[in-house]
Structure 1
Amino acid sequence: MPLTNTTIKNARPRTKDWKLFDEKGLYLLVKTTGAKLWRMKFRHHGVERKLSFGPWPDVSLKKARELRDEARATLQDGLDPSRERKKAKSAARREARHTFAVLADEFLDKRQADGLADTTISKKNWLLNHLKSAIGSAPVNDISVPELLTAIQQVEAKDKRETARRLRSIAGEVFSYAIATGRAQTNPATQLRGALRTPQVTHIPAIIDVGQVADLMRAIDRCTGYPSTLAALRISPHLFQRPGEIRQMRWADLKLDDAQWVPRIDDLKMRKPHQVPLSTQALAIIEEMAALRNGPYVFPAFNSGERPISENTLNGALKRLGYGGKMTAHGFRTMASSLLNESGKWNPDAIERALSHKVGNTVSATYNRTLYWKERVEMMQWWSDWLDDLKAGKV
């Protein structure tokens, strides 16, 4: 006879454990302690097995019957419900360990092993820490689109739109990694495009007016201070490479007999081989620093020859010259790109290659690196000569 709630409630413990039977293998085990536990007896391939559904009243009679019916349906499929439950619990435990924070750290470790620069890793870690505080403990496979959006909007609400945009991007990288490694099925970050406010574009200050460039070059020549700072500032307009790459120039990277600078891959933002032709003006500045050489770097820090000048050194020097908000060390790239293109003398792809920008696909990029080398050598010397003429008032 099927059980009723009244029968269950009135069941009392005895000197030995005893059972109250329901239907289709379900029964209630009444312990000598008074505990009442749901059990199900079944056979799988002729072997008697048991399932536990939990204690009454935490698991009601109605719920126990639902669990029994689910187990019977599993049996109909030829599967052992006991084994399937263990597999499900094991999967749940694994999923619980695969939190967003765990996957984020694992992703960063992989990117570092791939050779990503320490500074880039540090920036990505800084971004991910914003998300970890909100969703770090959540299983990565359980994080919904609204949940991720809420976490990012907490940053966006502080009027940090660009940071919010970058958070969506880095979150997408983590979820893609989770999918690739079998820890997630979807990437909620991809569905947030258009959901965040558009960042306000802030252009890097740069001088591209010819007259103002002439004044800037003369101001740089008048600048006084630490030799490394002055040399790095003077060479920057001639090389127009990324400031972080210039400040980390090593003596070992220079091929002075060939008038080349070949930065280490680890020092390059694009992580692609890149050679820089050196004009006679650039070589002269490097030779001046050779007389002061006291470590591996061409532009060593003030208090240690084992470290390069800091990333803010050149911007600080430009500010002292009165160019704060008007020109930055990175602005020399914009200056060169604009004026070289405006001259009409050089192939735009050669200019892009000189700036270490990607030109074409992988195959054509490899070809172009060789194709434009001679033109780039001529262009770099022309550019340095033009800057000198500009400074002297000859242009």
Structure 2
Amino acid sequence: MLTAAQLAKASCPPNKAYIRLVDTAGLFIEISRTRARWYVRFQKNGKQSRTSIGVYPQMSLAEARTQCYRFLGGLASNQYPVGSTAKPSIIKAHITEREMFQTIARKWLNKSKPGWGPVHADRYERMLERDVIPRIGTTHISAIKTVDLSGVVDAISARGVRETGKRCIRMIETIFKWAGTEGHEINCSTAGLITRLGAPKAEEHFPAITDPAELGEFLRAVKHYHGSPVIRALIELQFMIPCRPSELRLATWDDFNLEAMEFTIPSSRLKRTVANKAAGDAHIIPLSRQAAEILKTLPRFVSDPSVFPSSKRGRPISDNGARTAIISLGWGERQSMHGSRAVFRTLGEEVLKLDQALLEITLHHRLADQLRGAYRRVSRLDDRRAMMQAWSDMLDCLRTGQDYSHLVQK
């Protein structure tokens, strides 16, 4: 069976009129000193014949295989007479596209979407339409070889987006497995493709300050931020309520109970699968006295339920608002909104000596095996209430330069 690399190196020696390279399913190519042409060998009514389907390199190996399968399919259904010289354009008009990779991949995508969130679905659809289908979309799925996928992966690697490449390889592998269950023949493996993405870079984390003194400097800078008071409140609350930034930024007043001193994040806004968003419980984070005081300073609008509304009424503030404010204060490379969770997790355990399980529950993390069963996310609410108050008290001490040793858990 031919490979694209063999084909690129092939040439006709001076002492021959042409050379013939054989591929699969009757497909072969004749290379002379002036041209290279694809042919399909077939047999009908006991007679063997051949027909030309295109010229190389205008028609690649993958495309030639696709045209070969189309021609043979049309021949089997008596659409082409013996000796037919039907061109690819005619073949395309007669053969169904159900065997094309793009048809099968889009069918898989449409069947998978109902179980995905909108962001996840959009990511995979863009990846399929941008990176994969333009290269192998019209190829017969059984004619796709690993070398054809190498071109897909190499193009992604050239953009320097290794994680996208890994996702793309996993997606193609999943499509092939699903296509196999639909009765399609698969003659390709994704094994080894990940090596074409190069060595992984060092893992990058969201910037987070884990030095108490430096955190105090940052909190003082935020307190003296002269921009939007809504953005300042959002940043301050993000450090007192260590949820994911979008869970706080998109909050409505119905999510806060200032009498019970609780912030309830609906399941639909939590980081979960679509099924778990629909069936899961809400997540409760106790509010400290300082957090409640900040919330009471924020204006409420009858026409807008958002706690952090943008200048365009009816919409919450964008995620760029707080990020831009932190950058303008000169802390963009050292602290991020999402990094506030790492600050809480690290300093909470290392400085305040807080209960590891309570920290994980508050962050809405999956508990480790040794902790699961002993705790529930909604349990020990009183303990977590005391913990969040101690955390906010420590933030106040760091901001004002006071001693916080009395807050350390014994």
Q: Same fold (TM over 0.5)?
A: yes
Structure 1 position 269, deviation (Å) = 2.1
**Superposition map of 1:306-385 within 5 A:** 306-343=314-351, 345-360=353-368, 364=372, 368-385=376-393
In structure 1, C-alpha distance between the alignment counterparts of 2:104 and 2:386, rounded to whole Å: 49
Normalized per residue, the structure richer in helix is: 1
Contact 2:157-2:196 at 8 Å conserved across structures: no
Report the residue type matching 2:331 in the other structure: Y
- The residue that corresponds to 1:130 in the other structure is 131
In structure 2, C-alpha distance between the alignment counterparts of 1:230 and 1:366, rounded to whole Å: 38
- The residue that corresponds to 2:149 in the other structure is 148
- The residue that corresponds to 2:53 in the other structure is none
- The residue that corresponds to 1:114 in the other structure is 115
Provide closer, same or farther for how the CA distance between residues 280 and 179 of structure 1 changes in structure 2, counting only shifts above 3 A. Answer: farther
TM value normalised by structure 1: 0.68
In angstroms, what is the RMSD of aligned CA positions?
A: 3.4
How many correspondences in the alignment?
A: 314
Report the residue type matching 1:154 in the other structure: A
Q: 1:276 pairs with 285, 290, 297, which one?
A: 285
- Structure 1: 5+ residue runs without aligned partners? 1-24, 29-49, 60-91
Q: Which deviates further from its counterpart, 135-144 or 381-390? A: 135-144
Report the residue type matching 1:123 in the other structure: R
Contact 2:345-2:359 at 8 Å conserved across structures: yes
Report the residue type matching 2:323 in the other structure: N
Provide closer, same or farther for how the CA distance between residues 149 and 212 of structure 1 changes in structure 2, counting only shifts above 3 A. Answer: same
Contact 1:98-1:139 at 8 Å conserved across structures: yes
**Superposition map of 1:209-288 within 5 A:** 209-271=211-273, 273=281, 274-288=283-297
Report the residue type matching 1:337 in the other structure: R
SS of the residue 2:160 aligns to: coil
In structure 2, C-alpha distance between the alignment counterparts of 1:381 and 1:147, rounded to whole Å: 58
Report the residue type matching 2:218 in the other structure: L
Structure 1 position 316, deviation (Å) = 0.6
Q: 2:81 pairs with 55, 60, 80, which one?
A: 55
- The residue that corresponds to 1:21 in the other structure is none
The runs of at least 4 aligned residues of structure 1 exceeding 6 Å deviation read none
In structure 2, C-alpha distance between the alignment counterparts of 1:264 and 1:383, rounded to whole Å: 24
1:391 aligns to 2:399 (yes or no): yes
In structure 1, C-alpha distance between the alignment counterparts of 2:183 and 2:262, rounded to whole Å: 46
In our comparison, the structure showing a higher alpha carbon Rg is 1
Provide closer, same or farther for how the CA distance between residues 180 and 286 of structure 1 changes in structure 2, counting only shifts above 3 A. Answer: farther
Report the residue type matching 1:286 in the other structure: L
1:299 aligns to 2:308 (yes or no): yes
Structure 1 position 242, deviation (Å) = 1.4
Structure 1 position 335, deviation (Å) = 1.1
Provide closer, same or farther for how the CA distance between residues 93 and 282 of structure 1 changes in structure 2, counting only shifts above 3 A. Answer: farther
Provide closer, same or farther for how the CA distance between residues 56 and 325 of structure 1 changes in structure 2, counting only shifts above 3 A. Answer: same
Contact 1:179-1:186 at 8 Å conserved across structures: no
Provide closer, same or farther for how the CA distance between residues 109 and 378 of structure 1 changes in structure 2, counting only shifts above 3 A. Answer: farther
In structure 1, C-alpha distance between the alignment counterparts of 2:187 and 2:316, rounded to whole Å: 44
Contact 1:206-1:328 at 8 Å conserved across structures: yes
Give % identity: 26
Structure 1 position 351, deviation (Å) = 1.6
In structure 2, C-alpha distance between the alignment counterparts of 1:27 and 1:121, rounded to whole Å: 51
Provide closer, same or farther for how the CA distance between residues 57 and 126 of structure 1 changes in structure 2, counting only shifts above 3 A. Answer: closer
- The residue that corresponds to 2:163 in the other structure is 162
In structure 2, C-alpha distance between the alignment counterparts of 1:368 and 1:97, rounded to whole Å: 49
- Structure 2: 5+ residue runs without aligned partners? 1-43, 48-75, 86-93, 404-410
SS of the residue 1:249 aligns to: coil
Contact 1:168-1:192 at 8 Å conserved across structures: yes
